[in-house]
Chain A
Amino acid sequence: MKKIFFILILLVCFIPNIVYASNEALSQDDIIESQQESLDINSFIKEADKYTKDVYEDIDMGELFSSAISGEIDNETIFRSILNALRGRSNR
């Protein structure tokens, strides 16, 4: 019994259990990107594109999403594309 206990202690001592700390800190963008991938937000963006193809012709939903993340949504482009859609349809 003592031998077994002794062997176990030796095993515990010699099993490599060293943890190396990394200096690389994950940036906020990396975390957001990985979450975007794991939650499959890109497929939602593709799905959203289908609904507004004829209104927001000039706007790429992926770009709009990226600008929303950074908090810099270009309202002017949205207004312009709505006006363009109106004008385009009136000409048809």
Chain B
Amino acid sequence: MHCGGEVIDSITVLASILVIIVIHSILKSLSEGLENKGIAQITYYVQYILIVTLIMTNFVQILDIVKDSIQSLVGFMNSLIPILITLMITTGSIVSANLIQPIILFLITFIGNFIVGVIIPLVLISTALGVISKVSDRIQVDKLSKFFKTSVVWILGVVLTIFVGVVSVEGSLSSSVDGITAKTAKAAVSSFIPVVGKILGDAVDTVIGCSSILKNATGIVGVIILIGIAIMPIIKLTVLMAIYYLGAALCQPIADDKIIKLLDQMGDTFKTLLAIMCSVSVMFIIGTTLVINISNSGMMYR
């Protein structure tokens, strides 16, 4: 991933678009002087094709980066969660671990595949429809494009809510069971084993405490790595979104209305991709911290 490289590419694309728009506006005023609508239409189409070609080259690269980052996030979560769950078991959170592991691993893999396989193609379709609807006034599929974009935002919201809801509810239910079970076991060891019962109970507590420290440290490192994977695409998408909105604002005095709408729509597309990246990374960070906290709250019962 070359973060700065792609941002510079986008700035170059935007500069090229500005040059094309300036040339088109000169040609437009010339053709208007000649009172020839046909030439004006042809120059508009040529300009539009050039701009769309430039934008799409850039857009495909960015889509690939978003897909790669999501797959990296899912891959890393698939190696982080088993080790966190093992550490949870060593802290005595057996019920929580058994309950959470299948759910969380399923949700992470499902959500990752769902976003790469369904959500990102929907964004692509929405962008394609938006581009098509700005070719001429005859073809209007703007509403369909908006429908897909709104659907993407809604689906993301629902997915995020389901993930956080399921993990937190399951965790809070099972952590109290784990806490009480561990407390009962410790009390039984301390009182039923003669002479060394108390020492044994304390030793178990020390080992569990150390496991908890290890689990928290692993979780924190996991969160830092998740941030490391997601931060570059997020920064890049933010910059690109700003560049396209700025481009639309700069072109407004001279460019055709449809071209401005196209640039604006590309800004919206990058905003949607940014929302996807942010929700996936925030979801995984929340998931990791919840897993850490579930067994920590179980420890409170001791």
Contacts and interface: CB of A to CB of B under 8 A. Distances in A.
A89 B210 contact: no
Contact of A68 (B3, B90, B217): B217
B88 to A, nearest CB: 11
B26 to A, nearest CB: 34
B83 A41 contact: yes
A89 B221 contact: no
Contact of A69 (B4, B217, B228): B217
Contact of A92 (B2, B213, B222): B2
A88 B232 CA distance: 12
Q: Determine the main DSSP class of A at the interface with B.
A: helix
B2 A52 contact: no
A78 B222 CA distance: 14
B91 to A, nearest CB: 11
Q: How large is the interface on B (under 10, 10 to 19, 20 to 34, 35 or more residues)?
A: 35 or more
Q: How large is the interface on A (under 10, 10 to 19, 20 to 34, 35 or more residues)?
A: 20 to 34
B235 A86 contact: yes
Nearest to B6: A89
Contact of B218 (A28, A44, A89): A44
Interface in B1-47: 1-5, 7-8
A56 B213 contact: no
Contacts of A86: 3-4, 232, 235
A72 B7 CA distance: 35
B216 interface: yes
A67 B69 CA distance: 27
B57 interface: no
A31 B83 contact: no
B217 A89 contact: no
